[in-house]
Each structure stands twice: as C-alpha cells, then as structure tokens.
Amino acid sequence: MVNKGAKPGSATRRPTVEALEVLLQEPIKVLDHGFIRVVDYMGDDKAIVDAARVSYGRGTKTASEDRALIHYLMRHHHTTPFEMAEIKFHIKLPIFVARQWIRHRTASVNEYSARYSILDKEFYLPTEDQLASQSDENRQGRGKTLSSTESAQVLGILRQDAERNYEHYEWMLNADSKDGNRAGIARELARINLTLNTYTQWYWKIDLHNLLHFLRLRVDRHAQSEIRQYARQMLTVVQAWVPQTYEAFVEHRLEAINLSRTATSVVRRMIKGEQVTQSNSGLSKREWLDLLAGLAIAPEDDR
C-alpha cells in the first residue's frame, strides 16, 4: 500500500488510514493562534481487533464482526487492545491550557524550551462570548457572560499586560539591543515574566485508550472552554483514524451516563411509576441534578 505521507515512489507495508493520511502534517486551527497537527500514527481499527483475537491464533473476520467486537471491548472496558494503536500530535497552545493538559500523565511529551529558545510574541485573547463572571455553583467554572463594556475592559487589560510583559522579556534578553551595552539575563530567567496566555508548543504521543480517556474528560461541558476546543478537534481526528472505535466510544462512553448504585435504584423507582424527589432519592443535590441532566429531565422544585 502506498503511504501518501512518504516520498513519491516509496511504499510501506504497515497499515495506513486514507482519511488520516489526508490530515497528516496539516495544522488544524484552534483558538486564535493555536493548532493541532498529526505528525505520525500507528495502527487502525483492524489492529485493535487483531490484538483482541490474538489468543485465537487467527486473523480478523468480517467487517461487521470487527465492529461488534470493538463495541464489546468498549462496553466491557477491555482496554488493552486499544493500547495497540498510537498517535503523535504537534500542538500549539497557551501555557495555562498546557498546565491543565499535563495533568494527563499517560502520554510522552516534549515541550518547546524557553531555556534554549525565545518564545514568539503570540498570546491568547478570548472572544467576548468567552468572558464571564465566576460561577456561583461551580468554583472552577464560569457564570454569566460579561457586558460588552466589561468585556472590552478585560480584553484591554489582557492585551496590555501580555504586550508589556513581552516587551520586558525582550529587553531582559537584550534582543533589541543594537550597541551591545546590555548583557541581557539568561533565557531561563527572562521567561518567568511572561503571562500564562503566551503560546507554547509540544509533541504529544499517546496510545488510543488513554487518548479516549483524555477526550472523554476534556470534551465534557464541565471542562474549561479553551481545552475543550482542542479536544473537539482531536475527536474529529479520532473519527477519521479509527471510525469503528469512534462510533463505539460515542455510544458507550461519550454519550453514555454512569450511574451509582443509588442512582440506579432511583431510575428503577421512576420506571415503576414512583414519584421520586431529591429529598427522598438518597442523592445529594448535585448528584440529583447530574442524574436529571443525564436523563434529559428538566429539574423542578424538589422533583
């Protein structure tokens, strides 16, 4: 099979995915200056079912049987076969998003080093619809959107601070000195003055199982908007790369709900026609609201 990412006339014997080959090396824009770019990948849907069936000593069967097996593996949390596929991204993102991202410790990461190199004068500025007050219910989330006047003030401050601090960064590096009279300080020290909305870059390699876990958490409505935008673009890459796995992931993880023992009991009572309220459900208010949201039931007063 010809590898479209290889030099003309060369070929590869490894599995390739045409839909992902089209995306290979092409930046996918995220936020104002960010992007994700697929650098390389290994494996496909077939690699997953081959790994699952290796104990049988024979290859894969029909496409419909492969699909059913992938759904079975996803439904029953048999994760090892999904670890047989890997992908490597080049990602450009604001530092504050990177600090959230790095909490997922299941990937291999190599970040652009401001000890060795000078960071570009690029920083993230949110759009007005992303500027909101602190949420009253979620201590790590956003609440009501700011007015146009307030948004303009906030954006002005963010832009002014980022530009001023970058100018100081350049001055400390002696980057704009023509006469050489200033020695400049070490890059590893000058960088500490930069704002958290400054862009950084890294290479990020991860297996499919852990990538899906990352995406399940980061496309969730509770995740911060900025990292959620990266996750949504990565989800489109997964769909192109392993469509059968993507389908199973959406069915059994992304759009499924997980019920605790008490929540399961509540659902059973509802099915029997019992009038269940938060006060007699055995659930906390937050658990109750999460259950109603998962069941697409509008909350009522002490329902």
Instruction: Judge if 130 and 192 occupy the same domain.
Output: yes
> What is the residue range of 287's domain?
261-295
7 occurs within a structural domain: no
Euclidean distance between CA atoms 45 and 159, whole angstroms: 45
Task: Count how many domains the chain has.
Answer: 3
Distance CA 285, CA 269 (A): 18
Whether residue 204 is contained in a domain is answered as yes
> Residue 113, annotated ligand binder?
yes
User: Which spans in 53-186 are helix H?
Assistant: 63-75, 95-101, 148-173
Is 218 annotated in the active site?
yes
Q: What is the pLDDT along the chain (303 residues), one digit of tens a residue?
A: 445 455 555 678 888 999 999 999 999 999 999 999 999 999 999 999 999 988 655 555 677 789 999 999 999 999 999 999 999 999 999 999 999 999 999 999 999 999 999 999 999 999 888 887 676 666 666 667 878 888 889 999 999 999 999 999 999 988 666 665 666 888 999 999 999 999 999 999 999 999 999 999 999 988 999 999 999 999 999 999 999 999 999 999 999 999 999 999 999 999 999 999 999 999 999 899 999 999 999 887 544
Task: Tell me, yes or no, whether 4 lies in a domain.
Answer: no
* 144, 201: one domain: no
Given the residues 164, 182, 218, 221, select the one marked as catalytic: 218
Distance, CA of 265 to CA of 268 (rounded, Å) = 5
Q: Is 209 part of any known ligand binding site?
A: yes
Residues 22 and 113 in one domain: yes
End-to-end CA distance of the chain: 60
Query: 252 in a domain, yes or no?
Result: yes
213 is in an annotated binding site: yes
Q: Are residue 23 and residue 111 in the same domain, yes or no?
A: yes
Question: Given 150, 181, 196, which residue is the final one in a domain?
Answer: 196
Residue 158 lies in a domain: yes
User: Helix or strand or coil: residue 92?
Assistant: strand
